[in-house]
Structure 1
Amino acid sequence: MSTPTRTIKNFLRIGPKQAFWQMLGIGDTKAGTLVGTDRFGNKFYENNNEELPLRTKWVEYKEFDYDAAHVEPGWHAWLHYLTDKPPNVDPNMMHQKRPWEKPDHIPNLTWTRGAYKPYSTVKPKLSEWQPVARPRE
């Protein structure tokens, strides 16, 4: 969380609408330069001057119900400080849609009804014990 003066300063820079969505999404207001967008429509920002160390890069997801799997590998490497140049500048990191990739993004279905649930087709090795009691006299 940033200081109140930084929050107010960023609020005045980015406007009330953007500040509201940032507070809902990342819980902080940040202002920076747009570095690029990926093919999913996510926007990547950077601010080396006023942000805390290791908090200078961030992503604003296109969809409000975001998932970390919505970030492409090149942008993921840039966000986590593995590369200095963003993928839209570095020719080694640029890639188009590969022939083996599926046409649309497959969301992470963990904790949803569509999550994979394995089941066993093997007969159980242990059976329940059924007590046999004599009738009372």
Structure 2
Amino acid sequence: MKQFFLKLFTWWNSQTFGTQLWTWRFGELVGQDEQGNRYYRTRGGAIDPTLNFERRWVIYNGVAEASRIPPGWYGWLHHRFDTPPTEDTYAPREWEKPHQPNLTGTPAAYRPAGSTLASGRRPKATGDYQPWTPGN
């Protein structure tokens, strides 16, 4: 019962019931990436009459975080490439790095020196600040 309500109401955990139903009725699996995300398009590559192009979407494996989409699949999703990486000989460039999760809002987030969250106390002013005054 819990899984049913999670599918019905949560969009951030894989897919909702509505997305699952839409994918089952109109979707065609195109491929899967190394993180387990599955990529779909309209069945047979049909053109959506309201959009005037093929609909493409991703079903995340776990938490829906857009930064988890690899560059090859990102290009296909955004219609930069006509063929998905599974059909094309896509090779990542040497400067493309592997995915790192977004840690913002977590205890492991980056907190620079001087941040009130870094050490709990802000460092004292050093006296090098010169306030602006009119006429100077």
Same fold, judged at TM 0.5 (above) = yes
In structure 2, C-alpha distance between the alignment counterparts of 1:118 and 1:101, rounded to whole Å: 23
In structure 2, C-alpha distance between the alignment counterparts of 1:40 and 1:61, rounded to whole Å: 9
Summarize the Cα distance change of 1:68–1:115 in structure 2 as closer, same or farther, 3 Å threshold. Answer: same
Summarize the Cα distance change of 1:55–1:119 in structure 2 as closer, same or farther, 3 Å threshold. Answer: farther
Summarize the Cα distance change of 1:23–1:35 in structure 2 as closer, same or farther, 3 Å threshold. Answer: farther
* Larger strand fraction of residues: 2
Compute the RMSD of aligned alpha carbons: 3.6
Contact kept in structure 2, 1:78 and 1:85, CA below 8 Å? yes
User: Shift of residue 112 of structure 1?
Assistant: 1.6
Residue 49 (structure 1) aligned to one of 46, 49, 69 = 46
User: Shift of residue 56 of structure 1?
Assistant: 0.5
Opposite residue 58 of structure 1, the aligned amino acid is W
Listed as ranges, the gaps of 5+ residues in structure 2 are 115-121, 129-136
Q: Per-residue displacement from partner, 1:15-69 (whole Å, max 9, x unpaired)?
A: xx99x73863366432210000000000000004374426710000111x22111
Q: Per-residue displacement from partner, 1:83-121 (whole Å, max 9, x unpaired)?
A: 110011111x245xx7x956xx42110122211011139
Residue 38 (structure 1) aligned to one of 27, 33, 45 = 33
Listed as ranges, the gaps of 5+ residues in structure 1 are 1-16, 128-137
Contact kept in structure 1, 2:47 and 2:54, CA below 8 Å? no
Structure number with greater Rg is: 1
Alignment size in residue pairs: 104
| TM-score, normalised relative to structure 2 | 0.59
Query: 4+ runs of 1 displaced by more than 4 Å?
Result: none
Give the secondary structure class of the aligned counterpart of 1:33. Answer: strand
Partner of 2:58: 59
Residue 111 (structure 2) aligned to one of 107, 111, 117 = 117
Contact kept in structure 2, 1:44 and 1:57, CA below 8 Å? yes
| TM-score, normalised relative to structure 1 | 0.59
